[in-house]
Amino acid sequence: MPGRTDLRGSPELPTPLAVVCHDAGAANVILPWLQPRSFQVRAVMQGPATRLWRQRFGDAPLCASVDEALDGARLLLSGTGWATDLEHLARVQAHQRGVRSVAVIDHWVNYPGRFVRDGVQQWPDEFWVTDSDALALARWHFPADRVRVQRNLYLAEQVAAVPPVPTDGAGVLVVMEPARNHWGRGVAGEWQALDWFMQHRVAAGMPTAAPIRLRPHPSDDTGKYANWLARHPQVQLDCSATLAEALSRTRWVVGCESYALVVALAAGRTVFTSLPPWAPACRLPHAGLLRLGAAQAAAA
């Protein structure tokens, strides 16, 4: 059972502080660190990060541009997402202005590529990660003395908010993410993973009658899964306000390489990767992550 969690432990951050985020992953990690000093933050939030900022800080003002955020800033704290050049360009501008820069790596894949756009590489002054696996990976790719590990307050918050695994009516939560690859089959990988899940869920121990909910990724377009859901009436769209709420009704969690799988593992759920056997292996390094359909694939 998750207990009450001490959410202290934010890194020491000088102010004025510029913060630039787009993707949800790094924004989720960074925003809890800002709670004690949010009024001293000059933030640029775009994409999914904007919603997360509003959920946490309400009407707290945002800067209109990276230039505005960097004016007078003592440090830039940025995400390292793939969906935009915003964070990369912020690091370029910080370097040009002589502003110290820290980049937060929120996952366990594609470390060098996060810092290159159109052939231009821009490293921060420091790379921050939040666990020992990521620390080892980052120190493999970058100078070890520039890599720091910080406490993951977001993960602590989420786990503290998730109740014990329900004993009755427990369901399956499918957490989506764009695969950005069709694995040679002409169909986006996330759809292949969904089909693999539907084929192998019962053999993996999920009861046929267990409720199934599909939770879109923050970067997914509204209505992306409408046609698929219409063809699979036993699956409902998950509209929970938070991941912790979605997990509260769940015993089994399925996804490809989403950070949500890490939260689910920490919250004591049974977690599967739904990457089919023809896809690259799951790159999450966490113990306890199961491979959906592994026994059937081995016997085939």
**How high is the mean pLDDT of the chain?**
90
Mean pLDDT, to the nearest integer, of 111-129? 96
Of 165, 188, 192, 163, nearest to 178 by C-alpha is: 188
**35-59 residue pLDDT tens:** 645 568 999 999 999 999 999 998 8
3-state secondary structure the chain: CCCCCCCCCCCCCCCCEEEEECCHHHHHHHHHHHHHHHHHEEEEECCHHHHHHHHHHCCCCCCCCHHHHHCCCCEEEECCCCCCCHHHHHHHHHHHHCCEEEEECCCCCCCHHHHEECCEECCCCEEEECCHHHHHHHHHHCCHHHEEECCCHHHHHHHHHCCCCCCCCCEEEEECCCCCCCCCCCCCHHHHHHHHHHHHCCCCCCCCCCCEEEECCCCCCCCCCHHHHHHCCCEEECCCCCHHHHHCCEEEEEECCCHHHHHHHHCCCEEEECCCCCCCCCCCCCCCCEECCHHHHHHC
Reported as a pLDDT band with limits 50, 70 and 90, residue 8 is low
**138-170 residue pLDDT tens:** 999 999 999 999 999 999 999 999 999 988 878
Decide if pLDDT at 174 tops 90. yes
Of 261, 291, 86, nearest to 177 by C-alpha is: 261
Residue 167 confidence (pLDDT): 81
Alpha carbon distances (Å) from 235 to 19, 61, 166, 173, 206: 38, 39, 19, 10, 14
Decide if pLDDT at 297 tops 60. no
What would the two tokens of residue 160 be?
A: 């503290």
DSSP bridge partners of 116: 121
Mean pLDDT, to the nearest integer, of 64-86? 95
Decide if pLDDT at 296 tops 60. no
Residue 179 confidence (pLDDT): 86
**186-201 residue pLDDT tens:** 999 999 999 999 999 9
Mean pLDDT, to the nearest integer, of 247-272? 94
Q: Who has greater pLDDT, 5 or 287? A: 287
Share of the chain above pLDDT 90, in %: 78
Reported as a pLDDT band with limits 50, 70 and 90, residue 4 is very low
Residue 3 confidence (pLDDT): 32
Reported as a pLDDT band with limits 50, 70 and 90, residue 206 is very high
Residue 37 confidence (pLDDT): 56
What would the two tokens of residue 193 be?
A: 């993973």
Residue 48 confidence (pLDDT): 92
Question: Is there a contact between 262 and 155 (Cβ–Cβ < 8 Å)?
Answer: yes
What would the two tokens of residue 126 be?
A: 């420091």
Structural domains in the chain plus CATH codes: 17-159 (3.40.50.2000), 162-299 (3.40.50)
Residue 45 confidence (pLDDT): 97
DSSP bridge partners of 290: 272
Residue 80 confidence (pLDDT): 96
Angle at 247 between CA 245 and CA 249, to 5 degrees: 90
Reported as a pLDDT band with limits 50, 70 and 90, residue 268 is very high
